[in-house]
Amino acid sequence: MEAEWSIRRYRPEDAGLWDRLVAESRQGTLLHIRGYMDYHSDRFDDCSLIALRKGKPMSLLPANIRPDKTLCSHGGLTYGGWLTPLSHFDGSDMLSLFRLFTEWCRENGIGQIIYKAVPHIYHKIPAEEDLYALFRFGATVETVNLSTVIDMRNNPGFNTQQKRHLKKASVNNPWIKETSNAAEFMPILQECLQNRHNAAPVHTENELQMLKDSFPESIRLFLSGTGTKPEAAVCIYDTNSVAHCQYIATSERGRENGTLTYLMHHLIHDVFSSNRYFDFGTSNEDAGRILNSGLIHQKTGLGGRGVTYQIFRLNL
C-alpha cells in the first residue's frame, strides 16, 4: 500500500493546485489557503508537503521547519494537520501516509513533529483518521486548549447573567457597525489586550487589513457602542460552517453597558444564524495548562460548551 504513495515539498508554483485541494478536502479552511498562510512567510521556513497517490496529488500538510529540525504543522496557524480528500481515503490510507511521512522526515534530518489537528467542528465530514494514526505511531499530547462553542442546532441560549446584560444594553440601544477598515477596529482591541492581558494582537493593523482585503467575505469586523467610540469589537473568521471569533474586545464602558453581550446576540442570532457552529475561541495560557475561568464562564454564559484544540508531539 505504501508503494502507491509519495511525498514532495510544496513549491510556489503549486499555489493553484494547493488551493484547489484545500477547497476539495474534508477539513481545509481559510487558514490553509496559500494567500492566508503566506502573509507571514517571512517568519516561517515553509515545509508544506503534498502527498501523491499513484502520482496524483491527494493530501496536503501545511507545515514549517524550525532551526532545531522540528516540523510544525503549522507554527503560524491555529491548526494544521493532513488535509484529506472527500472520498477514496480511509484509516488504512492514513496509516500508509503516516509511515511514508515519518520516513520522509527521518530522511530529511527531522527529529520531531509538532502536529496541530484540525478540530472536528471544522470538518465538512468526519475526518479523524489522523488522530488514530498519531496514537498508532506513539505521539503524545503536547497541548490541549479549550474553546467554547455553540452548536447552533442545539443552542442552550444565554444564561441569566447574560440575559441581564442584554436587557441592560438594550435600554441604551447600541449602534452596530460592520467595517472593512482595520484602523477602526484595532484601537479598542489593542487597548483591551494591553489593559486586561498585558498582550498585543497576533496581527498588526497592516496585516489584518491585508487579510481583510484578501478575504472580504470570510474575515469580518464588527463594532458596537453607545457613544462616538466603539465599546465592543469582534473579528469573525467565517470558515466552512464555523463562525470563529478571532478577536473579542470590549472597553470598560462597554463592560458597564453590556455592549459586548448585545453585539454577540446580534452576531449569533442575526448574522451567523445559518452557521453550524459559533466558536468563541480558546481561554488558555501556557499551552493549555492555565484556564482563564472568568473568560470561559463568560463564554459559557453566552451559550458555548467545550471543544478541544489538540496539538501532538511525535519523536522520530
Burial of 207 (C-beta count, 10 Å sphere; 0-12/13-18/19+) = middle
Q: Would you give the DSSP letter of residue 74?
A: -
Task: State how far the Cα of 313 lies from the Cα of 316, in Å rounded to an integer.
Answer: 10
| pLDDT computed for residue 196 by the predictor | 82
Average pLDDT over residues 145-157: 97
Q: Prior bond to 123 cis, omega within 30?
A: no
Number of alpha carbons in the 13 Å side-chain half-sphere of residue 241: 17
Look at 7 and 1; give whichever has higher pLDDT.
Answer: 7
Q: Is the dihedral of CA 145, 146, 151, 152 positive or negative?
A: negative
Query: Please, which residues have CB within 8 angstroms of residue 114's CB and are 6 or more apart in sequence?
Result: 70, 71, 72, 73, 75, 142, 311, 312, 313
Mean pLDDT of the chain: 95
Q: What is the pTM of this model?
A: 0.95
222 within 8 A of 181, measured Cβ to Cβ: no
Query: pLDDT tens across 49-80, in order?
Result: 999 999 999 999 999 999 999 999 999 999 99
Task: State how far the Cα of 310 lies from the Cα of 316, in Å rounded to an integer.
Answer: 20
96 within 8 A of 5, measured Cβ to Cβ: yes
Helix (H) or strand (E) holding 279: strand 277-282
- Cell numbers at residue 258, please? 453590556
Cβ atoms < 10 Å from Cβ of 6: 15
Query: pLDDT tens across 159-215, in order?
Result: 999 999 999 999 999 999 999 999 999 999 999 988 887 788 889 999 999 999 999
Average pLDDT over residues 101-130: 98
pLDDT band per the 50, 70, 90 thresholds, residue 1: low
307 within 8 A of 119, measured Cβ to Cβ: yes
* Crossing angle between the packed helical segments 91-107 and 129-136, to the nearest 10 degrees: 50
Task: State how far the Cα of 25 lies from the Cα of 168, in Å rounded to an integer.
Answer: 45
The Cα angle at residue 186 between residues 183 and 191, in degrees rounded to 5: 140
* The residue type at 46: D
